Amino acid sequence: MSVDFPVVFALYPNITQLDFTGPYEVFARVPGARCVLASVSGGTIEASGGITFTGIRRLQDVESCALLCVPGGFGTIQALEDREYLAALRRLAGSARYVTSVCTGSLLLAAAGLLTGKRAACHWAWRDCLAAFGAIADPARVVREGNFITGGGVTAGIDMALTVLAEIAGPDYAQTVQLGIEYAPMPPFDSGRPESAGPEILAAAKKRLDAVRAERDAAVRRAAAAVVS
C-alpha cells in the first residue's frame, strides 16, 4: 500500500527559485511524496530573474500537509505583511509533521508567530531580523527545533531537505538520493560564507543588498509589531 506524503511549497511573488527547486528535487523523492505548489492567489508566480511557474494551487484550497516548505527571496519583504499568506502558514504548520524553510523563509515563519523562542537559520544578510520576532538566530547551515527545520541561504535548502529525508526514510536512502542528484559541491571559490569571504568581497555583497535594506527593515518592524499585537 502506497503512503501519501503531501509536501506543500508555500510560494509568493519574487521568490528565489532555487530556494524551493533545490529542496523540491529532494522532497519529490520522499516515498509517497505528492508535491504541491501553492500561493495566496494561485495560478502563476514569477520568481526573481523572470522564471515563471504555472498551475499553482491556492493556499486556501490546501487542507493540510505532512511537510511544509517556505522559501525565501526578495519577495519576502512584501510577504511579511501578507496576512492571508501568514495565516495559511500558521494553519498548515499546525498539523504538519515537518515545518521547513530556506533562506529568508524563516522570517516568514517568524512573522506568522511560529518561531518565538526557537532557534532558526536564515540567509546571513537577513539573520539579524529574526530577533525582532522573538526568534533566536543561529548561524548553522541547518537548524532543528522540534519539528521545525530551517536552512540558511539558498543552497542550504538542499542540505536541509537531505536532513529531513534522512529522518523520514533513513540515512541510507537519503544518501542514495544525494548520490542520484550528484550533490557533491566543490565551489571554485571559498567565499560562500561571510566568515570565509575576503573583506572586499563581503563589502561588495553588502553594498548590493543595501538597495533593499531600508525597505526590508521597515517591513520587519511593521510585521513584528503585528505579531506582538
Is 35 designated active site?
no
Pairing of strands 5-10, 136-137: unpaired
Grid cell in block for residue 75: 519577495
Between CA 20 and CA 27 the distance in angstroms is: 10
Terminal-to-terminal C-alpha distance of the chain: 47
Contacts by 193-199 with C-beta closer than 8 Å and gap 24+? Answer: 193/124, 194/124
Q: Report d(CA 111, CA 89) in Å as an integer.
A: 10
Q: What are phi and psi of 60, to 5 degrees?
A: -65, -20
Helical packing angle, 171-180 and 156-169, nearest 10° = 140
Sign of CA dihedral 23, 29, 33, 38: positive
Please spell the DSSP secondary structure of 102-166, one letter per residue.
ETTHHHHHHHTT--TT-EE---TTTGGGGGGGT-EE--SSEEEETTEEEE-STTHHHHHHHHHHH
| Catalytic site residue from 35, 65, 69, 103 | 103
Among all residues, which ones are annotated catalytic?
103
